[in-house]
Amino acid sequence: MVDVALNGAGVSQAVNIVLALTLVALVPGMMVVMTSFTRIVIVLSMLRHAMGMQETPPNVVLIMLAAFLTLLSMGSTFEKLDQQVVTPLYEQHLPASAALKQGGAIMKEYMIGRTREQDMNFVLGIAGKEMPDSAEAISLLHVVPAFLLSELRLAFQIGFVIFLPFLLVDIIVSSVLMAMGMMMVPPVSIALPIKILMFVLIDGWTLVARAVLSDSM
């Protein structure tokens, strides 16, 4: 009987370890699809393209900046995850299966609060489901795509606003060069320094960071 009990405890511990490792493996994917990271990194990438710089700042810089802005914007959510999931799981006060369930509930609460009702209705309609009376009753499988649709829409809205002033600079520079008969001069060689100067003078990085954070906090 003692051997059976010990074997049962060993199997249970092994299962918990496997579940914990699975949770760790899923963290990078969850970081992308269940947080504001997607929106932030898209906005930063669109900013780089709007300025006409394809490789500056480098991808690794944009990704790390987006990651830290995500941590900053979701501080309360990550703190709740640490207190209710990570710490109890590390101290073996919470089984891995319960940790997954609790962590999913916390992230679902965050995502539902930032998902448009139209997007949620669209996803539920595709799945052949009706909107439940309680938001907690919505499956995580339906919340994630609806949340992503809302985040993508918001990212492109911000990106459009970012593109406008840089597009105006391109148009003005091209018009001036044509009026001066300097059609052989590439407009980008003149427009790029003007864009950089304008961006620095208006403290552009702070404005962009404030824009992406104000929609998350």
The predicted pLDDT at position 15 comes to 66
The predicted pLDDT at position 43 comes to 92
The predicted pLDDT at position 173 comes to 84
The predicted pLDDT at position 1 comes to 47
User: For residue 1, which amino acid is it?
Assistant: M
In a domain, 107, yes or no: yes
Q: Among 37, 22, 27, which Cα is nearest to 213's?
A: 37
In a domain, 51, yes or no: no
Three-state SS string over 131-189 comes to: CCCCHHHCCHHHHHHHHHHHHHHHHHHHHHHHHHHHHHHHHHHHHHHHHCCCCCCCHHH
User: For residue 172, which amino acid is it?
Assistant: I
> Which ranges of the chain does DSSP label H, i.e. alpha helix?
2-33, 37-51, 59-73, 75-81, 87-90, 96-112, 117-126, 140-179, 187-201, 204-214
In a domain, 150, yes or no: yes
**pLDDT values of the chain reduced to their tens digit, one per residue, 217 residues:** 444 444 555 556 666 676 667 666 666 777 778 888 889 999 999 999 888 887 888 889 989 998 889 888 887 888 887 787 777 767 777 776 777 777 777 888 888 888 888 888 888 888 777 777 777 777 778 888 889 999 999 999 998 999 898 888 888 888 887 887 777 777 777 888 888 888 889 888 888 888 888 766 5
In a domain, 48, yes or no: no
In a domain, 108, yes or no: yes
Q: Is the pTM of this model over 0.95?
A: no
In a domain, 50, yes or no: no
In a domain, 202, yes or no: yes
**Which residue reads 């339906």 in tokens?**
142
The predicted pLDDT at position 4 comes to 44
Q: How many domains does the chain have?
A: 1
The predicted pLDDT at position 203 comes to 87
In a domain, 63, yes or no: yes
Residue 99's CB is within 10 A of a number of other CB atoms, namely: 22
For residue 20, what are the domain limits? 2-27+36-42+56-214
